[in-house]
Amino acid sequence: MLRKELNLFSFKDLLEFYPFRHIDKTSVDKIAALSNDSEYTQVAGVITDIQMIGEKRTRRLVAHLKDDTGTIELVWFQGISWVEKILVIGQRYLVFGKPGFFMGKPQMAHPELENYTAENADGKSHLEPIYPSTEKLKAKGITGRAIGKFTGELLKKLSENDLPENLPVPVVKRYKLIKRYDAYRHIHLPASELHYQHALRRLKFEEFFFAQLSIQLIKISRQRFSKGSVFEKVGQLFNDFYNHQLPFQLTAAQKKVLKEIRTDTGSGHQMNRLLQGDVGSGKTMVALLSMLIAADNGFQSVLMAPTEILAQQHFNNIKQLLVGLPVTVDILTGSSKPKARKLILKNCEDGSATILIGTHAIIEDKVIFKNLGFAVVDEQHKFGVAQRAKLWKKNTIPPHILVMTATPIPRTLALTAYGDLDYSVIDELPPGRQPITTVHRNEMARPQVMDFIKEQIALGRQAYIIYPLIEESSKLDYENLMKGFEEVKSFFPEPKYWISMVHGKQTAAQKDANMQRFVTADTQILVGTTVIEVGVNVPNASVMVIESAEKFGLSQLHQLRGRVGRGSDKSFCILLTGQKLSRDARERLKIMVSTNDGFKIAEKDLEIRGPGEIEGTKQSGVLNFKLASIVHDKVMLEAARSEVERIISEDADLILEENSPVKEYLQQQKGKSLWSKIA
């Protein structure tokens, strides 16, 4: 039962099934004092009556509890037969729950009950833990309180030896952490609020520490065991391109990152680097220059993009940049024709393809390389860790890997979730970019917005109009898109205006053709869904209209906005929404209007949504902390990380005496020997 309902399998799980709050057992509220904003409370009184009301699905058990100030109604919809058994008229109970009011009368649904005995009313300072339970468990009498009793029993049986210290003593001292054994006791049954706070602090630190440690250990073992190809020199290809064909000066940040990559790829170790940079910061150029260095050293490279549109765009762009240089650039996607595919596969295998650009089609088993030395994964969040690992296997010595994020993720999050990767950041935009003006408009203002687009088109600019696509297959979303398309057409009649439409139900060829018409300015307006979200680069576009903007997440909005403001013209982002907005949606729109800085937006996003929801980190279990929060305990996270980094750099094998508790704990975790199963 515990197993299925709460995922508790062992004593350890039970110990780590933490209470979500405590109540002071000595504090019993008077019924008359309850109010609408009372949180969980405890009242004590005598049951005056018990009734069964309603039929079938509306059937419920209603009882009244009376103290010397008033009466409260107690209601159960589930687990009725169990409650009936224990509830006796005239008996005293201690009742715990969250009160509500119905027609001005206090009420409590599914409260927890306990006989009111001298023992639990003795006035000793007892903070009682409150655990989550489920209706099913409650129906069997396993309330949160019952779970607390199991845990209490378990804690009584354990001694300090069962929960030995697992952190290095100097760390425990430095951060003034309480003993592990004490922490478990006081997190469940604290002697006082202060004890509880100390317990919480210790256990949070432990969570951060071991999460960081395991990820850092993965990194170190990889660095040790995975040899990397050595890029000895910067050769003629790079220099010719850099000196004669690079269309602009690199920003200082681009140069810095390039240097980091250069150092890594010359070291003999395999590089695994995460490159963060805001939308439009010029990550692609860094990738291209790195691939040229690979080519200078006789290695092939791949650049993997999340969509065909983007792969195609990279291909066109890079091919054009490299024109005249002795480099073969190929493209391979899911829709490559069999004949072309065959040729490309051959080129990859015999080494004549220098740079291969594509979608995930390039990691299929059939694609074999002669000497793959460098792999770029663009817009990382669309790729899973498994796909990254597949890239490694493409060469006997695994290629160096550069993972580029689509929109920034907060530094703390990046270092936590991707702590096994090295970290680079481009923290400046190329010069001359004008900040994008962002406004929020009610959809009533759509005609004015369309007029504004007309003005911009008259100036020679182009515009995007984006509709939400929540689910790839959702019919409703497509209907909305088509309706929107018709509406846009009525504002912008042919032949004065031409419109492209791009969405996920088109074939790759259709998508590409429509996109291409927009790129070449054959059409002035692109209506589409978020398939255009990442990476698309049309510098002449100056307006981004996002329909139903409240339905998009922050990083998506920022990514979409990043499609404009790529040229030297003033650009605009218009967020259209309905009248009714949730608080979160309002907050998101406010942030978008107030800043263009992707790193700031990422921090806010993390605050609003929490780490679990941030794209690209869902699968990476490292963020599933039970107590700690990377948003609220950031300082502690940094402290734990710096301790881990120090330990790893001084003593990666944990040989030092002071690190032996850590080593023993890790070994014990592997064996899980101490913890017998819950029967």
Chain contacts with Mg ion (rule: CB under 5 A): 535
277: contact with ligand ADP by CB under 6 A? yes
Nearest distance from residue 406's CB to ligand ADP, in Å? 8
Out of 6, 83, 261, 285, the only residue in the binding site for ligand ADP (CB under 6 A) is 285
In the bound state with ligand ADP, the residue whose beta carbon lies nearer, of 279 and 292, is 279
Nearest distance from residue 404's CB to Mg ion, in Å? 7
Q: Which range in 81-89, 122-130, 248-256, 367-375 contacts ligand ADP by CB under 6 A? A: 248-256
Nearest distance from residue 282's CB to Mg ion, in Å? 9
291: contact with ligand ADP by CB under 6 A? no
Quick one: what does residue 251 bind among ligand ADP, Mg ion, none, with the CB cut-off 5 to 8 Å set by partner type? ligand ADP
Residues with Cβ within 8 Å of residue 347, at least 6 apart in sequence: 328, 330, 353
In the bound state with Mg ion, the residue whose beta carbon lies nearer, of 419 and 535, is 535
Nearest distance from residue 553's CB to ligand ADP, in Å? 18
- Beta-strand relationship, 112-115 and 572-577: unpaired
Nearest distance from residue 537's CB to Mg ion, in Å? 8
Torsion-angle region of 268 (φ positive above 0: left; ψ -120 to 50: alpha; else: beta):
left
Helix segments in 166-192, DSSP class H = 169-174, 180-188
Residue 240 · residue 389 · CB < 8 Å: no
598: contact with ligand ADP by CB under 6 A? no
Q: Which range in 55-63, 184-192, 216-224, 245-253 contacts ligand ADP by CB under 6 A? A: 245-253
Q: What does the DSSP assignment read for 662-673?
A: HHHHHHHHHHTT
Out of 45, 99, 266, 280, the only residue in the binding site for ligand ADP (CB under 6 A) is 280
CA atoms within 13 A on the CB side of 477: 17
Cα 312 to Cα 272: distance, rounded to the nearest angstrom: 25
In the bound state with ligand ADP, the residue whose beta carbon lies nearer, of 101 and 248, is 248
Nearest distance from residue 588's CB to ligand ADP, in Å? 21
Q: Token pair of 385, please? A: 């860790």
257: contact with ligand ADP by CB under 6 A? no
145: contact with ligand ADP by CB under 6 A? no
Distances (CA, A) of 117 to 45, 67, 463: 12, 15, 73
Give the residue at shortest CB distance from ligand ADP.
282
Out of 46, 158, 250, 482, the only residue in the binding site for ligand ADP (CB under 6 A) is 250
320: contact with ligand ADP by CB under 6 A? no
In the bound state with Mg ion, the residue whose beta carbon lies nearer, of 535 and 661, is 535
In the bound state with Mg ion, the residue whose beta carbon lies nearer, of 184 and 374, is 374
Q: Where in 397-436 is the site for ligand ADP (CB under 6 A)?
A: 430
Residue 350 · residue 370 · CB < 8 Å: yes
Site string for ligand ADP, 529-558 (x = CB under 6 A): ------x-x---------------------
Three-state DSSP at 119 gives helix
- Length of the chain in residues, anyone? 679
Quick one: what does residue 45 bind among ligand ADP, Mg ion, none, with the CB cut-off 5 to 8 Å set by partner type? none
Out of 254, 307, 462, 500, the only residue in the binding site for ligand ADP (CB under 6 A) is 254
566: contact with ligand ADP by CB under 6 A? yes
Cα 206 to Cα 501: distance, rounded to the nearest angstrom: 52
CA trace torsion 635, 640, 641, 643 (10° rounding): 130
Residues with Cβ within 8 Å of residue 547, at least 6 apart in sequence: 443, 465, 466, 467, 468, 484, 576
Nearest distance from residue 526's CB to ligand ADP, in Å? 17
How many residues contact ligand ADP, by CB under 6 A? 17
284: contact with ligand ADP by CB under 6 A? yes
Quick one: what does residue 410 bind among Mg ion, ligand ADP, none, with the CB cut-off 5 to 8 Å set by partner type? none
Q: What does the DSSP assignment read for 553-571?
A: -HHHHHHHHTTSS-SSS--
Burial class, 318, CB count within 10 angstroms (exposed 0-12 / middle 13-18 / buried 19+): buried
Out of 111, 228, 282, 410, the only residue in the binding site for ligand ADP (CB under 6 A) is 282
Nearest distance from residue 379's CB to Mg ion, in Å? 7
Quick one: what does residue 529 bind among Mg ion, ligand ADP, none, with the CB cut-off 5 to 8 Å set by partner type? none
Residue 170 · residue 658 · CB < 8 Å: yes
In the bound state with Mg ion, the residue whose beta carbon lies nearer, of 195 and 314, is 314
In the bound state with ligand ADP, the residue whose beta carbon lies nearer, of 247 and 671, is 247
Q: What angle do CA 287, 288, 290 make, to 5 degrees?
A: 65
Give, rounded to a whole angstrom, the gap between the first and last alpha carbons of the chain: 11
- Beta-strand relationship, 372-377 and 300-304: parallel
Residues with Cβ within 8 Å of residue 647, at least 6 apart in sequence: 168, 213, 654, 659, 662
Q: Which range in 20-28, 51-59, 190-198, 244-252 contacts ligand ADP by CB under 6 A? A: 244-252
In the bound state with Mg ion, the residue whose beta carbon lies nearer, of 287 and 640, is 287
In the bound state with ligand ADP, the residue whose beta carbon lies nearer, of 190 and 535, is 535
Count of Cβ atoms closer than 10 Å to residue 368 Cβ: 14
Give the residue at shortest CB distance from Mg ion.
535
Residue 200 · residue 179 · CB < 8 Å: no
> Side chain identity at 32, as an amino acid letter?
A
Which chain residues interact with ligand ADP by CB under 6 A? 248-251, 254, 277, 279-285, 430, 535, 537, 566
